[in-house]
Structure 1
Amino acid sequence: MATADAGLRRLLADSGEDRGWVSPRTDLVTALLGLWFGIGLMIDAWAHTNLPSELETFFTPWHAVFYSGFAAVAGWIIWQVLRNVRTGRQGVAAVPMGYLAGLVAIPAFAAFGFADMMWHTFLGIETSVDILFSPSHLGLVATMMLIVTTPLRSAWHAPDVGVRPSLWRLLPALVGLAFATTLVSLFLSYGDALQQGADDVVTAFSDLDRSVWLATAMVITNVITLAPVLLLVRRWQPPFGSVTLMYAIVALMPGAQTTFRNLPILLAFVAAGLVSDLLIRWLRPSAARRGAYWAFAGLSAFATWSLYIGVASATAGSLPSVPELWTGAPIVAGLIGLLLGALFLPDAAPGSQ
């Protein structure tokens, strides 16, 4: 026992070398395994929403996909550390840049997974909004976010990424950031405007009493989806298609929860990503161009929710009957976007014009 403890202490003792970066291909594998992990969560979310009568045990096919995805990405991250240990590195020096938080989150996720199994065994299976407040689920989503954003942290200061990365080089970071956004949207899905169908949008904005929930949900969803894009644009000049890709991934979670019954709304959101990519190309927002950054934040939000209401109205065959709501809601979204832009970039980077 003493020998084992001594060996563990030697392994954890930092050998002092500068931490290195993994290759872009390694980050891509991490992102793809995170994709497996994330899709497993989407399948589980779909099951909780659509098959409540079949959720009588922790051991379900969708939990198998979810936890096997965790095992795959966890094993891959641990393997990157072990490869460095074999070269003589020890402690933190053996952990690649960007991978430390994900590594620490692995045993924490496993502990919350065990707690979740115990919770389901003794307290039952959640089938409604209570699933979003379960302590074990909250622990799982927090640690999962640290794991799936590993490629984002890896790319953040990687010397080969640069200010204007290619879409291929930035792809792992985009996938990680998008899936982190889906996790937030899942646990705030009681305020997710993307789960609404076209008829629901038109009906809600035709009734002042019913409009309150939708207006609130639009604000919540606007902040959840725009904030990661503003983070991305503040750090890099993202290649064309970046926001479209992110929004396509983000749309999968509300799609899974509604069995894609609201497909026109989801496609409108993906189209909004394309509009945002066009705005990035036109305005060239960056940390050094505060005015362009603020303009992008406001216009991107305004365009997103204009498309949302426009596509809903076209699909339903009529405009909402309260004009103040359907004309003013995109303006509110744009103003919130502008405020987020000012919060993310209160002043231009030093040396800007």
Structure 2
Amino acid sequence: MTALLGVWFGIGLMIDAWAHTNLAELETFFTPWHAVFYSGFAVVSGWIIWQVWRNVRAGRQGPAAVPFGYLAGLLAVPAFAFFGLIDMLWHTVLGIETSLDILFSPSHLGLIVTMLLIITTPLRSAWNAPDVGAQPSLGRLLPALIGLAFATTLVSLFLSYGDAMQYRPVRIVEAFSAVNEPGADRLALAMVVTNIILLSPVLLLARRWLLPFGSVTVMYTLAVLMPGAQTEFKNVPVLVSFVVAGLVSDLLIRWLRPTGERRAAYWTFAGLSGLATWSLYIGIASATGGGLPTVPELWTGAPIIAGLIGLALGALFLPNAAGSEKTTPDTADDTADGTAGAAPRTVDAERA
């Protein structure tokens, strides 16, 4: 339920992002898209608060009344409301942003950080839940996947100036057909930024669980919705390339079985996933955008760089196999049976 209501919240932000990107005349804070966005916040925050209140009525007190993994989201609810008020005052005094400045507004940055904490509540709930296990089913992990995927869209939104998913096929071909134009530099940099944004959440999950087939496809399908909304889905072939890349990444997971205990497989997956994603990006753009770019070094080398960055991310996320990490006294009981030790369940969840 928390994940489903978070979808309402996230879709509301996408509608608002579409409006700010594509509508030139925005003169008021009180708009239909703000209504969808803030009503999404109201329902998901109301649900979180209700869960805590229900536990209080059942006799739980203090942190014990907060459901497993919900503490950060609960604390973010009043913070988001505060930044929403600041945002309304900001727009009233300074007007409505419709360009790059919207991504640097302090009130918007406050909203996006607190929203990220709220929308990732299902992920924190699942992280150490005793019924999830090391190899969860897709259905059991789906709320966590949805929460983290929408969090990824928030990051991509506020790094839109470096988002390769917003390029159209023709523009990709044109950019990599000239080395003396700024288009090639911008696209190459956008590919690096987007590669990190997309792959990092997948590697975070793969370090924790052996991901069930379909996990990356679900995440990448949701991730393309934000750039799709911003471009009014005028670059569908490029967006489809990422959905296909998610499927390829799922096949790589089934083949390599990367986990925190299998460092070599984890690193291999990280590199091959990046290479495959951006090879598909260039390939599908070329097939639908008028042919291969004319500078072979660019269109052949860019996916290789993406693969190397993926490998570097893999090494950063998992420098040592999980089984070789030292177990501290505070976590000795946790590693023995996969559940929390003597400390309260909620505190352990937030610490994790």
Do the two structures share a fold, i.e. TM-score over 0.5?
yes
- Residue 255 of structure 1 aligns with which residue? 228
2: CA distance, partners of 1:215 / 1:351: 37
Q: Give the secondary-structure state (helix, strand or coil) at the position aligned to 2:96.
A: coil
- Residue 333 of structure 2 aligns with which residue? none
Query: Does the aligned pair in 1 maintain the 2:276–2:303 contact within 8 Å?
Result: yes
> 1:236-251 counterparts in 2 under 5 A?
236-251=209-224
1:31 CA displacement: 0.2
1:52 CA displacement: 2.2
> 1:198-347 counterparts in 2 under 5 A?
198-208=169-179, 209=181, 210-347=183-320
- Residue 15 of structure 2 aligns with which residue? 43
Query: Does the aligned pair in 1 maintain the 2:275–2:303 contact within 8 Å?
Result: yes
1: CA distance, partners of 2:15 / 2:310: 31
Q: 2:123 aligns with which of 148, 152, 158?
A: 152
1: CA distance, partners of 2:83 / 2:125: 25
Q: Give the secondary-structure state (helix, strand or coil) at the position aligned to 2:29.
A: coil
Q: Give the secondary-structure state (helix, strand or coil) at the position aligned to 2:131.
A: coil
- Residue 36 of structure 2 aligns with which residue? 65
2: CA distance, partners of 1:231 / 1:132: 26
2: CA distance, partners of 1:114 / 1:43: 20
Q: 1:93 aligns with which of 55, 61, 64?
A: 64
1: CA distance, partners of 2:63 / 2:134: 28
1:72 CA displacement: 0.2
Q: Give the secondary-structure state (helix, strand or coil) at the position aligned to 1:266.
A: helix
1:351 CA displacement: 6.1
1: CA distance, partners of 2:7 / 2:289: 34
2: CA distance, partners of 1:93 / 1:299: 43
Q: Deviations over 1:196-248 (max 9, x none)?
A: 00001000001112200000000000000000000010000111000000000
Q: Give the secondary-structure state (helix, strand or coil) at the position aligned to 2:112.
A: helix
- Residue 104 of structure 1 aligns with which residue? 75
Query: Does the aligned pair in 1 maintain the 2:69–2:121 contact within 8 Å?
Result: yes
2: CA distance, partners of 1:199 / 1:350: 47
Q: Give the secondary-structure state (helix, strand or coil) at the position aligned to 2:323.
A: coil
- Residue 11 of structure 1 aligns with which residue? none
Q: Deviations over 1:57-90 (max 9, x none)?
A: 0000000000000000000000000010001112
Q: Deviations over 1:2-50 (max 9, x none)?
A: xxxxxxxxxxxxxxxxxxxxxxxxxxx0000000000000000000011
1: CA distance, partners of 2:156 / 2:142: 21
2: CA distance, partners of 1:333 / 1:158: 34
2: CA distance, partners of 1:109 / 1:249: 23
2: CA distance, partners of 1:257 / 1:64: 18
Query: Does the aligned pair in 1 maintain the 2:173–2:290 contact within 8 Å?
Result: no
Q: Deviations over 1:158-197 (max 9, x none)?
A: 0000011111100100000101100000000000000000
Give 5+ residue unaligned stretches, structure 2: 326-352
Identity of aligned residues (%): 76
Which amino acid in structure 2 is aligned with residue 49 of structure 1? Answer: T
1: CA distance, partners of 2:266 / 2:50: 40
Give 5+ residue unaligned stretches, structure 1: 1-28
1:317 CA displacement: 2.3
2: CA distance, partners of 1:70 / 1:236: 29
Query: Does the aligned pair in 1 maintain the 2:286–2:293 contact within 8 Å?
Result: yes
Q: Calculate the aligned-residue CA RMSD, in Å.
A: 0.8
1:131 CA displacement: 0.3
2: CA distance, partners of 1:88 / 1:286: 40
2: CA distance, partners of 1:213 / 1:288: 38
2: CA distance, partners of 1:175 / 1:312: 27
Residue 177 of structure 2 is aligned to residue 177 of structure 1: no
Which amino acid in structure 2 is aligned with residue 244 of structure 1? Answer: T
Q: 1:77 aligns with which of 35, 48, 54?
A: 48
